[in-house]
């Protein structure tokens, strides 16, 4: 028997039409049959090629023809051999994966753009990760009779700890439940991505059983076969994966048995054996404990080699941003500084620190329409999360042209209500003049569809191409994020106050490297307080850079750091500890940015 997807009635298997409502019954043809140049979603997505296929789905590389041929990955749900309740459960699981990923935001997780149904099949559109799976990497090493280098193994394990700790910190916690090399992607910068959330589950303390007992033999812990998982289940799977990276032994060949091994790292060897303990209570208590144990193993290695893998930390160094009176974002100051009103005195630093730069002024021109304000609040909320650790910034809102004076960034939030408002259009005309004289940076954000391109506003950079509002909640969230990221980029550049090189603090230099053209104008930064310099080597992931620390006296590289968004940079504490041991904020570290080796 199977269930009609329209009326919900039970109907015999293999029939072509529902006997109750007459609806055509979709045929469960095999997955992965889309040929190159096929079109989906009313011609929006152009299939380029198939890049993966498993028992649950097929994945294609495609172009989004509506967004400048952006490359995306499209996951097609498998329906082969499914009917009735089984098919409905598979559809529910597929929708669950899309909804779960859509609310998760992390640099080691792919972004979700939308989900849709086409020709009776479910599709999920997500960020395309250029790279290879860890499974492919291990297979290549195995064919050469070799294992992954220890430093690379620890780097991958450290990144997995970070993203799994993020999942476990959700409310309720998200248990991945299928961690294995085939579900770990590695890009060219060695950044990892977790893929395939098809069987991830929300953990509810006290719940004795999950709804399903899926998993991969060799990587799934014993309790998963009893339909009972917890965050320690992911610790087991990580331990199994780590054991395979260190030994080359595929755990699927001998499930639940992990051969003791020796690599002259007894602490690491004991950690792995604890992680794969059959009794969940004997495993480390949390992913944070595993991460800290790995950090303790990694840190001593930094004294034995000139270039080492990045060292993580428990929390970002840069103080989190906060909102004052709903309109200003400023950096928290040390309590002693707040109490006395004076900057603390540090050894090897001037008694009187440089005068703080004026906050970046962001002025918003928006109509009085309720829908416009709702969308703007969503963009601003997303922006607050992205600019944690940035210099001070202040928001103002007014439709009066005179209010634009002194603004560093002007945002024109376009809609039909905006275009029909005389005060909004007058402010837009004033903003165009400031843009032409380079007195301010102007950005148009299309909140709702309107004829903005038929006015002078067409010569201002506009995002997104169509509008923020969208019938798909997933697409709308991605457009909100796109707008917030572009504002973040403008804020980072505005904080430099026109500088592209020369005297600046470490925070300004990092912002220039992360969100501007820093590598082109000033890839080097020499701190005033010591004999160290930083060099921007390459980008890492969607928003990160690899930096080399150079000892200028010895003229050699002594360390390497991965710096991501300033509200999630694990290596920042170690970087500051070397450049300026008395500082906890990169804005306090003064230096000189240059194009050439200092």
3-state secondary structure of 570: coil
User: Residue 598 carries which DSSP code?
Assistant: -
Name the binding residues: 75
DSSP 8-state code for residue 340: H
Q: Which of 64, 92, 118, 178 is catalytic?
A: 178
Is 178 one of the catalytic residues?
yes
Q: Which residues contact 249 (CB under 8 A, 6 or more apart)?
A: 243, 259
DSSP state of 495: T
Q: Is 541 helix (H, G, I), strand (E, B) or coil?
A: coil
DSSP state of 404: G
Nearest to 117 by CA among 472, 380, 463: 472
What pairing do the DSSP bridges indicate for beta strands 121-127 and 184-187? unpaired
**Residue partners of 285: CB distance under 8 A and separation at least 6:** 232
DSSP string, 106-159: -TTSPPEEEEEEETTEEEEEEE---EEEHHHHHHHHHHTT----HHHHHHHHHH
d(CA 517, CA 508): 12
- Phi, psi dihedrals of residue 456, rounded to the nearest 5°: -65, -15
Instruction: Tell me the C-alpha to C-alpha distance, in Å, between residue 512 and each of 358, 490, 564.
Output: 18, 10, 13
From CA 271, how far away is CA 10, in angstroms rounded?
52
Contact by Cβ (8 Å): 454, 426: no
Q: Are 482 and 500 in contact (CB under 8 A)?
A: no
Q: What angle do CA 411, 414, 420 make, to 5 degrees?
A: 125
Radius of gyration of the chain (CA): 27
**Contact criterion met (CB below 8 Å) for 396 and 403:** yes
Q: Of the candidates 121, 101, 129, 128, which has an alpha carbon nearest to the alpha carbon of residue 41? A: 121
Burial 196-211 (b: 16+ CB within 10 A, else e): bbbbbbebeeeeeebe
HEC-encoded secondary structure of 283-325: CCCCHHHHHHHHHHHHHHHCCCCCCCCCCCCCCCCCCCEEEEC
CA 293-152-215 angle, to 5 degrees, is 70
Binding-site annotation, residues for ATP:
75
Which residue, among 271, 243, 278, has the nearest Cα to 259 in the 3D structure? 243
Pairing state of beta strands 10-11 and 2-3?
antiparallel
Looking at the annotation, which residues are catalytic? 178
């Amino acid at each position: 028997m199977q269930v009609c997807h329209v009326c919900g009635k039970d109907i015999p298997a293999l029939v072509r039409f529902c006997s109750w409502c007459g609806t055509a019954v979709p045929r469960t043809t095999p997955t992965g049959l889309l040929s190159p140049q096929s079109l989906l979603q009313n011609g929006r997505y152009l299939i380029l090629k198939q890049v993966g296929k498993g028992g649950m789905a097929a994945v294609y590389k495609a172009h989004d023809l509506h967004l400048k041929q952006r490359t995306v990955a499209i996951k097609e749900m498998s329906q082969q051999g499914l009917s009735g309740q089984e098919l409905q459960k598979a559809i529910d699981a597929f929708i669950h994966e899309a909804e779960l990923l859509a609310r998760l935001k992390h640099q080691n997780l792919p972004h979700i753009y939308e989900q849709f149904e086409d020709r009776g099949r479910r599709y999920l559109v997500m960020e395309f990760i250029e790279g290879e799976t860890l499974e492919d990497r291990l297979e290549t090493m195995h064919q050469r009779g070799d294992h992954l280098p220890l430093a690379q193994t620890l780097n991958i394990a450290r990144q997995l700890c970070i993203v799994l700790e993020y999942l476990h910190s959700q409310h309720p916690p998200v248990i991945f439940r299928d961690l294995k090399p085939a579900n770990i992607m590695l890009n060219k910068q060695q950044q990892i991505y977790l893929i395939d959330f098809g069987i991830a589950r929300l953990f509810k303390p006290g719940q004795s059983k999950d709804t399903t007992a899926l998993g991969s033999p060799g990587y799934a812990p014993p309790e998963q076969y009893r339909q009972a998982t917890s965050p320690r289940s992911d610790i087991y799977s990580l331990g199994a994966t780590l054991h395979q990276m260190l030994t080359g032994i595929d755990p699927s060949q001998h499930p639940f048995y992990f051969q003791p091994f020796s690599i002259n790292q007894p602490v690491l060897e004991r950690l792995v054996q604890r992680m794969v303990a059959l009794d969940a209570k004997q495993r480390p208590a949390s992913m944070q404990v595993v991460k800290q144990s790995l950090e303790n193993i990694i840190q001593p290695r930094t004294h034995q080699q000139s270039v080492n893998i990045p060292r993580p930390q428990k929390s970002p160094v840069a103080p989190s941003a906060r909102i004052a009176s709903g309109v200003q974002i400023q950096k928290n100051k040390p309590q002693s500084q707040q109490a006395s009103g004076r900057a603390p005195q540090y050894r090897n630093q001037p008694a009187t620190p440089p005068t703080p730069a004026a906050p970046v002024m962001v002025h918003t021109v928006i109509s009085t329409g309720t829908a416009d304000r709702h969308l703007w609040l969503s963009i601003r909320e997303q922006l607050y999360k992205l600019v944690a650790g940035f210099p001070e910034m202040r928001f103002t809102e007014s439709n009066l042209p005179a209010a634009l004076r002194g603004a560093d960034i002007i945002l024109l939030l376009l809609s039909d209500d905006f275009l029909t408002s005389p005060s909004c259009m007058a402010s837009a005309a004033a903003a165009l003049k400031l843009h032409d004289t380079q007195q301010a940076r102007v950005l148009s954000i299309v909140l709702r569809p309107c004829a903005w391109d038929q006015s002078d506003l067409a010569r201002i950079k506009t995002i997104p191409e169509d509008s923020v509002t969208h019938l798909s909640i997933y697409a709308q969230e991605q457009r909100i994020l796109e707008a917030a990221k572009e504002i973040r980029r403008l804020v980072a550049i505005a904080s430099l106050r026109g500088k592209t090189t020369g005297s600046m603090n470490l925070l300004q230099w990092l912002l220039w490297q992360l969100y501007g053209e820093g590598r082109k104008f000033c890839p080097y930064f020499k701190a005033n307080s010591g004999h160290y310099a930083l060099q921007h080597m390459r980008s890492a992931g969607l928003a990160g850079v690899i930096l080399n620390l150079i000892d200028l006296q010895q003229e050699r590289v002594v360390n390497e750091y991965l710096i991501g968004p300033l509200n999630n940079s694990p290596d920042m504490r170690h970087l500051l500890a070397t450049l300026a041991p008395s500082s906890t904020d990169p804005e306090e570290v003064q230096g000189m940015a240059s194009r050439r080796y200092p």
